[in-house]
Structures are given as C-alpha cells and as structure tokens.
Amino acid sequence: MERQGREARMTRRRSTSTRRKGARSVVLSRVIWIVWTVVTGSSIAGWIIPGMPLVGPLIQQVLGNKTVNEILSDERVNKVIDLAPDEAWQGKLGFLKKKLREHQAAVHATSGAGYQVPTVPGAQVPTYPGATSAARVAKSAQTIRIASYNIEVFGTTKMGKPWVVETLAQVVRHFDIVAIQEIRTQDDQLMPTFLAVVNADGSRYDYVIGPRVGRTISTEQYAFVYDTQRIEVDRSSVASMSDPADMLHREPLVARFRTRSSGAGLPFSFWLVNIHTDPDEVASEVDVLAGVFQVMQAARADEDDVILLGDLNANEHQLGLLGQLPGITWVVSGITTNTRKTKTYDNILFNRFATSEFTGRWGVVDVQSVFRLTMDQALEVSDHFPVWAEFHVYESAPMQHTAQLPGYFFQ
Amino acid sequence: MSDVTVLARQLQDKQASVRAQAAERLGRCGDAACVAVELVRACGDEEEVVREWAVAALEELGPPPASSLEPLCSLAAAAQELVAYWAVTLLGRAGPEAFAAAPALVSVLETSPHPAVRQRAAWALGRIRDQSAATIAALERVKSSGDPRLARLAAESLDNDRTASDFHSRTHACG
C-alpha cells in the first residue's frame, strides 16, 4: 500500500512536472519567437531605416544600438534563458544565441544610419566634387573608429566617377582613421583630390601615404586618412617597413597615432600597421606578419598598442602564426568582407590585453545596402567592404594576462 | 557569345578607353578564368589603367582552364615583365595540371631578365611538383643565388618536390 501510494505520488509529480514543462515550453516557444522576430525580423528595417513609421522608432527604442553581448546580458533575455526546462531547450536557446551573434554581425554589416545616398548613374550626376554634401557625421567624444578599406584599383578610373568618389568620401567621414589599400596610380594628385572631396562638407581630414610597393611595375600604395580634429599623427613615425629578405610582396606602412582629447585621461596612442598580402603567398606572409607585429610591439618602450589591419586575403582560420601570437585577437569573424559576400579577406588584429581600449564594437559596412546600390554599382566602388573597430579615446591600463582566451569577442 | 568573351575581344580594341572599360568590367565580373590568356596579354597594354585592371582581375582568378596552359607557356617567355609574371603565376596556380609547363618555367627561371619573374617561376615549379632532373638541377642552382627571395622559393619548391616524390613512392609501394 505504502509502495503503491509512493508510486501514485511520483506519477502525479511526473504528470504535474510534464504539464509544467509543457506549459513552460509553450511560453518559452512564444517568448523565443517574439525575441527572435523583434531582433531579426522587423528590426532589420528598424536598424536600416530608423525613420520608418512605427517599426523604426519602436525598434530603436527597444534595442537602440545594443550589441549582442548587451542584448544577451539583458536581464529580460536571461530570464527567458532561465526558463529552459531541459537540455533540448537549452540547445534551442544556444541556437538562438548563435543566431543573435550572426545577426549582430549582419547588423554591423547593414547599419546605415547617418549615410546619405549619393546620386548614381541613371539619375542626375552630381557636379564634381562632392555635390551631395552630407550632413556632418556626429561622432562620439568617448570613442574613435578605425577602419580598413581596400579600395580596389583606387586610381584615375574611380576618380573619374563622381558618385563613386562621393560614396568613398562618405564612408571615410564615418571613421576617425581609415587605412587604405590598393592605391594604384602614378598620379600623385589622387589623394589630395580625394581629400578635397572628403573635406567638401567642412570636415578636416588629412592623410599620410607610403611609397609605391610591389615587385613588378604594377605597384600599390597604402595610405592612412584621418580626422585631424580628433586624431594626430607622429609624422616622424610614418614608414614603410624594411624587408631585406623580401618576405612580403608589399611591405606594410606603419604610423603612430594619438587621439586629441581634452579630458583628464591620457590620450589613446597606438601603432597602425597597414598590410595587403599577396593572394598567392598568404600562408607564408601571415607567418611573417607575426614577426612584424612583434617588432612593432617592441618598437617603442612607451607604446604597447599595435593594431594590424588590412586585406589579409585570409579568414580568421587562415591567420597562421599571426593568429597564434599570445593574446592576439581579431574583430572580424563569421562574416564576409568582400562585396560579393563570398569571402572574408579583411580584418583588424591587436593584443587583447595590451589594447584593452577596444570597446567590443566592430563591423563591416555593407556599401551595397547602405548606399542602395546594385551589385554592379557596389563593385564599381570596390570589391571589398570597409571593416572597422571602435576604441576608447583614453588609454586604459593593460588587462592582466591570466589565460589564453579564444580569439573571438562573441563567444 | 558570352559577355566575358565580348569583353575579352574589347581588350584588343584600338581605342584605349574601350580597352580600359573592358578590363575594368572583366575585373568586376568574377568569373573571368576562361579569358585568362587575354587578361595576361592585357598586362602588356600601353595604357596604365588597362594594365592595372587586368592585374586586379588576375589577382582574383583561380586556376586557369586546361585549354589556356599552352598559350600561357608561350606568354611566360614574353619580354614584358608583367605579362611574363602573370603567365607564370597562372601556371603555378594550375598546380600539377600544368606539369607540361615545367621546361618553359625552367627556361624562365634561368633566363628571365626580371627578378620578380624568376622568383615566380621558382614558386610555380614548386606548385606543379615537377620532379624531373632538369627542374631539380635548375632549382638547386638558384638555391645558392644572391637573391634571398629566389633562393628561399627554390628551396621551398625543392622541399615540395621531395614531399611529392615521397608521396608517389608511398603510393607505388601501397599499390
């Protein structure tokens, strides 16, 4: 009798537990579906077109510019996660987290706030230079954004297309520094002419440019374009790295920059190392870049921040010895950076312990979506998208190197 | 006739602007492997802009089709540096498929006046994994070259050849 009673109680408990689990599963399904729909569905429009009636403001209000980490650390989202009744649901939530992270990358890719659409062929062509002068870009006083942009064959052809130049200028104005690869022209007036377009809206950008590098008569130049109101460069530091053993097709251009900030903190200073690898020798060149990175880390006793950025022709799994340096990390992961959206070529790397100024925000600018271009028009701008990362304007104390962490920020 | 083929023909147009536009569009089309030979020839164009877009297109290209290997062998001996450089590069990208190009590449390795072309030939010989005595002897000779990059690439190609040789030996042993 006692045994039968115990079994009956256990059966009731199981039954109650099953009912509760069933009810929680239904609730959980709905909550996940709502979160997923809000975050990935209607919010795409909300993010891309903040002025869209109802949906845009609503999504902006709910999510603002939150990163995935912020969304996932949101108490409300964690409560949903706590509802998981069993491993199966935890698996589903894990999938949701993964999708959120992928979507965050897509959000970075499609965020177009602040951009204006230049006139493209087929409509009225603007008077050169910079007829569609965009409103000045509002930048945070607390952070800077550093970008890398391979502007495929940046030369006379592109400068002859005003809408392409205006598009490139608008991209530049959204960043404090842009490391440019693939300037291919013998015309030394290209960059001054381009800067005139960038500054046509009252901006005050300047640039430093490297020598023509390459092994054949087809050479390239690197450049850094920077906002002089927020950044200063140590011109004596600008140099093309020496490569006596000829290990790299295009020797990196290095320069040391510092933020201009009026606050009490120390301005954030850092080396930038601009690189475009040879697509036929990627494996050996990324190994050599590991040495380049270490050389730059030791270049000045008073500078611990080295940021290597450019067109590596390698994704996050193809970084060789560069990707194995102690503490090294990279921002672009799990998202393509070419205009055709088939490959990850471009990245920004630094030591996560030394460069703790990184805010965790990064992105790839989907030029095609932002400027509402056709694929062919987007390819006329470049076959690459710009990639960027955000840093605090003040120096932070280096983080304690306690463990070898994964090289991803969204893990 | 496909768009790519039409553009390839336009690369030989008398007007520089037409050639430049064709090269640019080929650079953007993403599937120009079938006109690899025409693009390599365009690297010898007198107009800088044509050359630069041809190079941009070639950088994106994968291995060339088998039908282009023979003309590429001829272009590898071209006097114009950029033409020879890209012909050699594409032969290297073809890998063991371009096995028959080994004698032409050895000739380039030993006679080209352009260091970058000789270096690429050393690299390409490693990619096609030719183990003939002539290739190995040529690579051994330049391994002691005063050009550090040429010497390094030759050494790497010899290593590749040895690896390929070991692999073939094991394959035969297993067979």
B1-62 — its CATH code? 1.25.10.10
- pLDDT the model gives residue B98: 95
Residue A137 in domain: no
Q: Is B60 on the interface with A (CB under 8 A)?
A: yes
CA distance A141 to A390: 12
> Do A388 and A258 fall within a single domain?
yes
With CB atoms and an 8 Å threshold, state whether A383 touches B28: yes
Give Cβ neighbours of residue B134 (< 8 Å, ≥ 6 apart): B102, B103, B106
Domain boundaries, chain B: 1-62, 75-175
CA distance A270 to A256: 6
Reply yes or no on whether the pLDDT at A262 is more than 90: no
The 10s digit of each residue's pLDDT in A267-277 is 999 999 999 99
CA distance A36 to A77: 11
Task: Give B17 to chain A, closest Cα distance, Å.
Answer: 10
Q: Is B45 on the interface with A (CB under 8 A)?
A: no
With CB atoms and an 8 Å threshold, state whether B52 touches A155: yes
Residue A133 in domain: no
A210 forms bridges with which residues in the sheet?
none
Residue A411 in domain: no
Residue A398 in domain: no
- pLDDT the model gives residue A93: 55
Return the H-helix or E-strand segment holding B128.
helix B115-128
- pLDDT the model gives residue A45: 38
With CB atoms and an 8 Å threshold, state whether B48 touches A380: no
Q: Which of B24, B52, B86 to mutate to test the interface with A (most CBs of A within 10 A)?
A: B52
Q: How far is CA A277 from the centre of its chain?
A: 19
> Do A56 and A169 fall within a single domain?
no
> Do A149 and A29 fall within a single domain?
no
The 10s digit of each residue's pLDDT in A74-90 is 444 444 444 455 555 55
User: With contact defined as beta carbons under 8 Å apart, do B18 and B49 qualify?
Assistant: no
Residue A397 in domain: no
> Do A277 and A154 fall within a single domain?
yes
Q: Which of A154, A192, A193, A189 minimizes the C-alpha distance to A386?
A: A154
Which residue has better confidence, B87 or A98? Answer: B87
Q: Where in the sequence is the domain holding A314, given as residue range(s)? A: 143-392
- pLDDT the model gives residue A65: 39
User: With contact defined as beta carbons under 8 Å apart, do B142 and B109 qualify?
Assistant: yes
User: With a cut of 70, which residues of chain B have pLDDT below it?
Assistant: 1-2, 30, 161-175
Q: Which of B43, B59, B120 to mutate to test the interface with A (most CBs of A within 10 A)?
A: B59
> Do A234 and A89 fall within a single domain?
no
Q: Is B82 on the interface with A (CB under 8 A)?
A: yes
The 10s digit of each residue's pLDDT in A214-261 is 999 999 999 999 999 999 999 999 999 999 999 999 999 999 999 997
User: With contact defined as beta carbons under 8 Å apart, do B62 and B16 qualify?
Assistant: no
Amino acid at A3: R
> Do A306 and A175 fall within a single domain?
yes
Q: How many domains does chain A have?
A: 2
- Three-state DSSP class for residue B6: helix
Give Cβ neighbours of residue A217 (< 8 Å, ≥ 6 apart): B51, B81, B82
Least confident range from A23-32, A119-128, B32-41, B117-126: namely A119-128
Determine the residue of chain B that is closest to A339 in CA distance: B28
CA distance B9 to B31: 16
Residue A122 in domain: no
pTM value is 0.76
> Do A339 and A296 fall within a single domain?
yes
Residue A410 in domain: no
Contact list in B for residue A383 (CB cut-off 8 A) is 27-28, 56, 60
Reply yes or no on whether the pLDDT at A23 is more than 80: no
Reply yes or no on whether the pLDDT at A15 is more than 60: no
- Three-state DSSP class for residue A239: strand
- pLDDT the model gives residue B160: 77
Q: How confident is the model at residue A39 (pLDDT cuts 50, 70, 90)?
A: very low
Q: How many A/B residue pairs have CB atoms within 8 Å?
A: 59
Query: In this structure, what CATH number is given to the domain that contains residue A269?
Result: 3.60.10.10
Phi, psi dihedral angles at A225 (to 5 degrees):
-105, 130
Reply yes or no on whether the pLDDT at A57 is more than 50: no
> Do A212 and A355 fall within a single domain?
yes
Reply yes or no on whether the pLDDT at A376 is more than 50: yes
User: With contact defined as beta carbons under 8 Å apart, do A158 and A164 qualify?
Assistant: yes
CA distance A24 to A75: 18
Task: Give B94 to chain A, closest Cα distance, Å.
Answer: 12
Residue A401 in domain: no
Contact list in B for residue A380 (CB cut-off 8 A) is 28
CA distance A191 to A169: 11
Contact list in A for residue B89 (CB cut-off 8 A) is 280
Residue in A186, A246, A376 nearest the CB of B28: A376
Reply yes or no on whether the pLDDT at A155 is more than 80: yes
